[in-house]
Each structure stands twice: as structure tokens, then as C-alpha cells.
Amino acid sequence: MRIRLFCLLVLFSVSTAQAQVPEVETILILGDSLSAAYGMEVSESWPVLLQERLDEQGYAYRVFNSSIAGDTTQGGLARLPRLLEKQRPAIVLIELGGNDGLRGLPLDVTRKNLAAMIEQSRSAGAEVIIAEIRIPPNYGPSYTQKFNAIFHELAKQESVTLLPFLLEDIALEPGMMLPDGIHPTAAAQPVIVDAVWEIAQAMLDAPVSRNGYRP
């Protein structure tokens, strides 16, 4: 009798403890070199700083960074289904398109790829943040303007959150960019994570349902 009572008490204690532990949700970052710790230690990169911020603020989220230097929207689209299946993210942050623009790839292809990633992420039950990307005018003003407009247009059309251009406040600041003028330095990462946090925190504070919508 005592042994049975002891076992019941142990089971009740374990069940209570498990009920009190919040489910850890995942933030999936699907990006290129701007998010892949290019030219710095991984520990200095903004995705790692984002995880540290989440932990400090007591949010039950983990950051899964699937960013690859040189990746395009086509590459991201090809990788996404497997990532969604394995990680089951609550939030997907898409930071892709820069390499499309730098290579002069067709604008309609970039747009379609981004739209497909948004749709796939939503279908998997995730909220979506799309990062604004800008490119230098290597292919003339018409291409550049149309490229830069893709992200605002998609955010509006698809009703997803737009993350303003990550290099907005650092591109012209001394010590914030590598000599190539494209990639941010380690010193710029805290500025970037502040910008990401400003956008992401509202999502983090909203209740999440696994159908991908937050009331």
C-alpha cells in the first residue's frame, strides 16, 4: 500500500512538473550571409545574440539558424520543406533575395520564390517575417527599384510582417561594414539584433496557435 501510494505521488509530481514547463517554440531563420556569421565568429552573429536576448527576457523560444552564405531564394525554397517538417517553427524569418539581386536574376522568379516560402510557412502553422533587402544599382535604376519594391509589396499582399532593411542604420557607419561594403561586421550585430527584436517581440508576446495565427 505504501509503495503504491509512493508511486502515485511520484507520478503526480512528475506530471505537475511537466505541466509547468512551457513548450519551447522555434524561430527559424532562413537566410544568406547577412545572417550566417559571415566574416566573424558564430557566437558574435545576430542570430546567436537573438537567442541570448530571448533567454534573458524569459521567452521559451529557441533560434534555429538555417542561413547559408551565397544562398538565393531558389535555394531557400528548396530547403524550406524539410526544415518546416523537422523544426515545426512558430515563426519563420525569411532573409533572402540579396544574392538574386546581385546576380541580376529575373525579378518574377525572386518574387514567386518568396511568395512560395511565405505560403509554405503559413501552411505549416508559422507566422512569417520577411526581411527587406536592398541592392546597389549594378543593373540600372529600373531593375534596382523594382527589386527593392518586391519586399514591401509582398508584405502588403500577403499580410506578413516586414523587417526593415537590416543594414539601414549601419551601412554608412565607420567600422560597421566589411571592406566589401556588403557585409556587416561583428560590431554591427548588436544593432541588427535590436532591429530584429523590435519587430519580433510583438509576435513573441502574442498567443500562438499551431494553425499559424495569432489573435
The amino acid occupying position 127 is E
Catalytic residue among 32, 33, 71, 100: 33
Note down pLDDT in tens along the chain; length 215 residues. 555 544 444 444 444 444 455 689 999 999 999 999 999 999 999 999 999 999 999 999 999 999 999 999 999 999 999 999 999 999 999 999 999 999 999 999 999 999 999 999 999 999 999 999 999 999 999 999 999 999 999 999 999 999 999 998 898 899 999 999 999 999 999 999 999 999 999 899 875 544 443 43
Q: Does 115 reside within a domain?
A: yes
Which residues have a Cβ under 8 Å from the Cβ of 198 and sit 6 or more positions away?
A: none
pTM for the predicted model, two decimal places: 0.87
- Is residue 180 part of the annotated active site? The answer reads yes
Q: Does 17 reside within a domain?
A: no
3-state secondary structure of 1: coil
Helices of type H across the chain: 2-20, 46-57, 73-87, 98-102, 107-123, 140-158, 189-205
Q: Does 5 reside within a domain?
A: no
Q: Does 100 reside within a domain?
A: yes
Catalytic residue among 66, 71, 180, 194: 180
3-state secondary structure of 69: coil
Q: Does 111 reside within a domain?
A: yes
The Cα-based distances of 112 to 31, 70, 75, 115 in angstroms read: 17, 19, 13, 5
CATH no. for residue 43?
3.40.50.1110
- What is d(CA 29, CA 37) in angstroms, rounded to the nearest whole number? 13
Per the structure, the complete domain to which residue 198 belongs is given by 23-205
Q: Does 148 reside within a domain?
A: yes
Query: 201: burial class by Cβ within 10 Å (0-12, 13-18, 19+)?
Result: middle
- Is residue 183 part of the annotated active site? The answer reads yes
3-state secondary structure of 78: helix
Which residues have a Cβ under 8 Å from the Cβ of 181 and sit 6 or more positions away?
A: none
Q: Does 133 reside within a domain?
A: yes
> Which grid cell sits at 214?
495569432
Q: What is the pLDDT of residue 171?
A: 87
Catalytic residue among 66, 67, 142, 183: 183
- Taking the chain, what is the end-to-end CA distance rounded to the nearest angstrom? 49
- Count of domains observed in the chain: 1
Q: Does 18 reside within a domain?
A: no
Query: 202: burial class by Cβ within 10 Å (0-12, 13-18, 19+)?
Result: exposed
